[in-house]
Structure 1
Amino acid sequence: MPLLTRLMSAAMICCLSALAWADQPGAAGQCPVLDVADDSARHHLMDYVCYHSAEPDDAAHRATSPQELPESLAWTPADGHDLVFSHTQSVYWLKLQLNNSGSTRGLWYLKLDYPLLDEVTFWTSTGNGTSRKLATGDQYPFASRGIDYRYFLLPVTLGAQEPLQVTIRIRSSGALNVPLSLETPAEVIATSNDLTLTHGLFYGALAIFAAFNLLLFFSSRTVYYFYNAFYMGAMGLFLFAMGGFANQYFWPESAGFANTSIPLALGLCALAMTLFGRSFLEVRPDTLANTTLKAQAWFCIVFLALTFILPYNKTIILNTVLALSVIASLLISAGIRWRQGYQPAIWYLLSWMVMLAGALIYALAAFGHLADFLARESLMQVTIGGQVILLNYAMVQRWRLLNQKLLEVEHKARTQLEFKVHERTSQLRNAMRELEKANRKLAALSLNDPLTGLYNRRHLDNILPELCAEARRTGQPLTLALIDADRFKAVNDTWGHGFGDTCLQLIADILSRHVKRPRDIAIRFGGEEFAVLLPGADIEGARKVCQAILDDLRNTPLDTPDGRTLNMTLSAGVAQLATPEDQCALFQRADDALYQAKASGRDRVEIAEPEFSDWGAPATQ
């Protein structure tokens, strides 16, 4: 075990060094005014931030607005340091004074890049006495943030030479990280795009690995593949919750569950790690390691139950200690199995050493002992990525070891081995057949719009060239109608996207009723844009179909969420394929006709004139 001891010692030294370098706020001083027009000053925002830590017996702790703060309140400048605080009952007040020395009015965003805060309240006050308040945080519905973003964004609009004071009150039952930045809209978008790419790659790769392990489990019935998929899913959920994505996408209205989900996912990770380690390492039933891992699994189940009973600040500590203890015990078990000659254990051991180092640093950041939570989050993602690769390589090595054993069995009992190979081949063929069926189902789903059930743009792009070629070959007419809902944006803005979806489904139902010939096709190819392909129908027949659709929708009232009645209308543009015309020109003429219908007052059908005569010459005007 000397190698294991040395590696664990190195990991601990790295974590302690990182803790020693953690940024700490500076001493008391003055808070200067930040000129938002100065890019250099904005990029050093923390040089202009002051804060006050209000203990429970402090008058500022009871204050609920800046006007209730004592005039003698002592503000401490951050002096360029990130504000990081461990678990505390204090309330933290922050103050930032801004001024726009530029000659034009501008928009900036004050961004707080830490999603796990129970209560965050922003106040802005201008020199003329105008004030504004924004109360949000995990204890509020996600929509309270005003901007659909996992972090906290405060729009700051300043006219030329206009001053502004921003005051922030923060309270949380966990640790506090307050990484503030003041960015232009372009900078916010650029940063968001970079993070979207990074998170998309990470969570996408994690989902692919988990799905791949599930496929291996279903095909081979080897249980540790299932446990590995379970672990990656639980770890992905934990990081999704820690990163604020779960609160944004999974339970935006469940403010009480936002905190509970984090220790719950952490407990699931600990349980999955234990089950996977016990199965992968092939721990013998009559050993102390097996008894220990079984007891750990039961502890994980008990801690999961406690997550719903104890407060967040207790369960997050308990489950973090549990997870780190599980990792440490798995390291010891892997080291023992390696010493016993089980070769895949070395890669398993390395993967959990990487995980232990990353988890310690991430835990220190999450509990307020290290600054720059975003960097620690990225480090944790890199750590998990490295661990997943090592774990899967360990499974490859385990598979290779099993293959060697199968070769030995073949040498001793060829007949028995052939039977087993045949059985494995049959299982693999079944898995491939199931995968092929799944691919066919996915291909079918990819051609349909999930909201309306109609075909989607991809199907239009596939079928329109084929129908055009068929019409030119057979001489039969082909008519394309483009239909668009009138003033649909106003519907969404007034009654919300949920009611807008109901309207789109109604339009789709009406299209399905009127587009009823076997070869007629109704398609939703945009937000409120629809297409109707009518092979064999001339321009007059297509006009009648479109007019019937428009009349049907106009005469179908809808009850809005606020109790009013809405009669929607449609506009349509119709074009018939000319002899030398391709699908692009046909689509463009139908689109021009639709535009003409919109420009002519909406709720009407416009017929597109062909650009070519039947003989290929340009049509006369």
Structure 2
Amino acid sequence: MLLYLRYFIPIVAMLLTTGLAIAAPPAQTEQCPTLDANNPEQRASLMDHVCFLSAPPGEPAHQANTPEALSADTHWKAANGHDLVFSHTDAVYWVRLNVRNSGDTGQLWYLKLNYPLLDEVTFWQTGNDGTAAIATGDQYPFMSRGIDYRYFLLPVTLGANETRTITIRIRSSGALNVPLSLETPEATIAQSNHLTLVHGLFYGALLVFAAFNLLLFFSSGTVYYFYNAFYMASLGLFLFAMGGFANQYFWPDSAGFANTSIPMLMSVSSLAMTLFGRSFLEIQPGSRSDRVLRGLALTSLGLFVMAFILPYNKSIVLSTTVALIIIASLFLIGLVRWRQGYLPAKWYVMAWSGMLAGALIYALAAFGYLADFLAREIFMQVAVGAQVILLNYAMVQRWRLLNQKLLDVEQNARTNLELKVHERTAQLRNTMRELERANRQLATLSLNDALTGLHNRRHLDNLLPELCAESRRSGQPLTIALLDADHFKAVNDDWGHDFGDQCLQHIADILRRHVKRPRDVAIRFGGEEFAILLPGTGADGARRLCEQILEDLASSRMVTTDGAYLSLTMSAGTATLIPGEDERELFRRADEALYRAKAAGRNRAEQSEPAPSWSTPHGE
């Protein structure tokens, strides 16, 4: 065991040293420097323009509820380019930022606070038109934020040459992370889309693996499959809550429950990982390891109850401490079982070593000892993803070990145990059939959209680079068309998401009706966003195909839930591959053409420029 620890401890130390943010001592300043919102470099160095104030209980600033209530001789401290990160404290923190629009026209920016777990956050904007305030946080209903987003977004609209002072008052019973950024609407949307894809893949994979293990449990009756499914589901819910998604989607009107849910779900995850580890490692009942894990499991149950009784700042510390102890204990017990010759423990230890490092760094970030919580969240997701893969591989190795033992028993005691061997073999074969069936289902689900039956974004990402390479080799044209339903949000708002799903299926049927060539591919890669890959088709042919689709869609009518008739329209943008271009640039040009179609009035198709020399019509 000492040999393994000798290699493991330096790795964890290196990760902590790399991720640790050492904040320079803040300097006092009388006035915060003004940030030019039109200057991208100044926006990138926003923390150089931020001042803050720490107000412990008993100070006048702690009792102040508005910027006007602060003393005129208040000494603000400069952030000096560092993220504002504070461990558990009873202090109230004030943050101030002066923003100026040096342009000749009014513009909109978003001030983004990239940390979801704050009890009370109040924004004030003071400008030419007076002062406007927004009070929000976990102690308020989720919609008090004004914008349906897991982080805190403050719209900042500045007129020409206008300067505004933004003041933020923050109070929380937990740690305080105040990562601020000032972004354009376009950058905000792009980052949101990227994170949505990352989180969707992560939580979707956890859900699929959990369902898969649950299927294995029902088919084989092996209890550690159930514990593994329980662990992945509970861990996913905990990270979902830590990321602010649960507060956004599960209990948006339950003010304050966002805090209670964190230690509650953490204790459930601790219980699940203890039960899974005890079952998978085949801990001998009554052994020292068994007694330790039983005690930790009972402690986790007790912390689950205490989450509803103790204050958040106490229950989260207890839950986190026990969770880290459990992870470390399972890692050490796995090492012991590995040294005892239990081969699946090798992969279990590898899975748990990454989890230990990820959980430690994530806990330090959540408690305010590391900056850049978003990066730590992604690091934790990578650690969990690697752990899930290794754990499932470990279960495969465990299955192989059991199979080998079964063959040995059959060889050595064929006569006396023949009936039992046949029963076990039949059980294993049933498990393999279920495994193969589940793998086929997973392969289908991974490349097809469940709602419309079209291919999904993953298939697009896999196929488009291949088609681009083929086009460059053969000299044949390749065109991509991006289509987006017009005003689709209004359809969902007016008639509900069930009717919206019917509309998406209707659009998919029209695409299938027109995309008939064997190599042409219709794809749904977003909510109401579709794509068509047209190998061997030039720009003119693609444009005519899009116009036919748009005309067919606009001429068809659907009956709404209230009996009215609705005609849907779509906008389309096409781009044809040009020499020297890769798939990302091709997709970007098609996307720009789509936006031009939207801006030009919708229900039309726009073609990206420049157009290549070939103009092979669709179908020729």
Q: TM-score, normalised by structure 1?
A: 0.72
Native 8 Å contact 2:212 2:438 kept in 1 = no
Paired AA for residue 423 in structure 2 = K
- 1:72-221 aligned within 5 A: 72-126=73-127, 128-221=128-221
**What is the rounded CA distance, in whole Å, between the counterparts of 2:197 and 2:232 in structure 1?**
20
Structure 1 residue 428: deviation in Å?
Answer: 3.6
Equivalent runs, 1:278-427 vs 2, <5 Å:
278-414=278-414, 416=417, 418-424=421-427, 427=430
Q: Hey, what does 1:71 align to over in structure 2?
A: 72
C-alpha distance in structure 2 between counterparts of 1:13 and 1:59, whole Å: 42
CA apart distance, 1:274 = 0.6
Superposed CA offset, 1:490-536 (max 9, x none): 898xxxx4x7439x87xx9xxxxxxxxxxxxxx9425999999xxxx
Check 1:429–1:39 CA distance in 2 against 1; reply closer, same or farther (3 A cut). Answer: closer
Indicate conservation of the 8 Å contact 2:216/2:431, yes or no. Answer: no
Which of the residues 492, 496, 499 maps onto 1:501?
496
Q: Against the structure 1 CA distance between its residues 447 and 93, is the aligned structure 2 distance closer, same or farther, given a 3 Å change threshold?
A: closer
CA distance in 2, matches of 1:82, 1:588: 49
| Separation in 2, partners of 1:589, 1:196 | 32
For residue 253 of structure 2, what is the aligned residue in structure 1? 253
Do 1:100 and 1:163's aligned partners in 2 also have CA atoms closer than 8 Å? yes
| Alpha-carbon distance in 2 for matches of 1:179, 1:432 | 44
**Alignment map for 1:17-28 (pairs within 5 Å):** 17-18=17-18, 21-24=21-24, 26-28=26-28
Where 2:405 maps in the other structure, the secondary structure is helix
* Structure of larger gyration radius: 1
CA distance in 2, matches of 1:390, 1:593: 53
Secondary structure in structure 1 of the residue aligned to 2:342: coil
Aligned-partner Cα distance in 2 for 1:339–1:435: 34
1: distance between equivalents of 2:363 and 2:335?
A: 24
Shift of 1:414: 3.3
* 1:100 counterpart letter in structure 2: N
Could you tell me how far apart the structure 1 residues matched to 2:358 and 2:14 are?
A: 10
1:48 equivalent in structure 2: 49
CA distance in 2 between partners of 1:323 and 1:152 (Å): 29
> Offset at 1:457?
9.4
Indicate how the Cα distance of structure 1 residues 114 and 21 shifts in structure 2: closer, same or farther if over 3 A, else same: closer
Equivalent-residue separation in structure 2 for 1:35 and 1:316 (angstroms): 40
1:488–1:328 distance in 2 versus 1, CA, 3 Å: closer
Q: Are residue 7 (structure 1) and residue 7 (structure 2) matched?
A: yes
Give the C-alpha shift of residue 12 in structure 1.
4.8
Partner of 2:477: none
Cα distance per residue 1:560-584 (max 9 Å; x no partner): xxxxxxxxxxxxxxxxxxxxxxx99
> How big is the alpha-carbon RMSD for the aligned residues of Structure 1 and Structure 2?
3.5
TM superposition shift of 1:56: 0.7
Q: Which moved more, 1:7-16 or 1:373-382?
A: 7-16
Q: CA deviation at 1:9?
A: 2.5
Aligned to 2:36: 35
Corresponding pairs, count: 492
3-state SS of paired residue (1:414): coil
Change in CA separation of 1:433 and 1:328 when aligned onto 2, cut-off 3 Å = closer
* Alpha-carbon separation, structure 2, partners of 1:349 and 1:76: 46
One-letter amino acid of the counterpart of residue 232, structure 1: M
Aligned to 1:568: none
Q: Counterparts of 1:489 and 1:210 in 2: how far apart (Å)? A: 32
Shift of the 220–63 alpha-carbon distance from structure 1 to 2, 3 Å rule, reads: same
Deviation at 1:257, TM superposition (A): 1.2
Contact 2:118/2:172, CA 8 A, preserved across alignment: yes
Paired residue secondary structure (1:358): helix
Alpha carbons 1:87, 1:173 under 8 Å: kept:
yes
Aligned residue for 1:122, secondary structure, equals strand
C-alpha separation in 1, matches of 2:15 and 2:450: 51
Equivalent residues of 2:234, 2:265 under 8 A apart: yes
Take 2:566 and 2:248, find their aligned partners in 1: how far apart are those partners? 41
| Identical columns (%) | 56
In structure 2, the partner of 1:233 is 233
Q: 1:25·1:82 contact (CA, 8 Å) conserved in 2?
A: no
Given that 2:102 and 2:161 are in contact with CA atoms closer than 8 Å, whether structure 1 keeps it comes out as yes
Instruction: Supply the distance in 1 between the matched residues of 2:488 and 2:216 (Cα, whole angstroms).
Output: 47
CA drift at 1:424:
1.5
1:433–1:208 CA distance, 2 compared to 1 (3 A) = closer
Structure 2's unaligned 5+ residue stretches are 455-486, 511-544, 558-563, 568-620
Q: Is the Cα–Cα contact under 8 Å of residues 52 and 75 in structure 1 kept in the other structure?
A: yes
- For 1:532-568, what per-residue CA distance to the aligned partner results, in whole angstroms no more than 9, with x for missing partners? 9xxxxxxxxxxxxxxxxxxxxxxxxxxxxxxxxxxxx
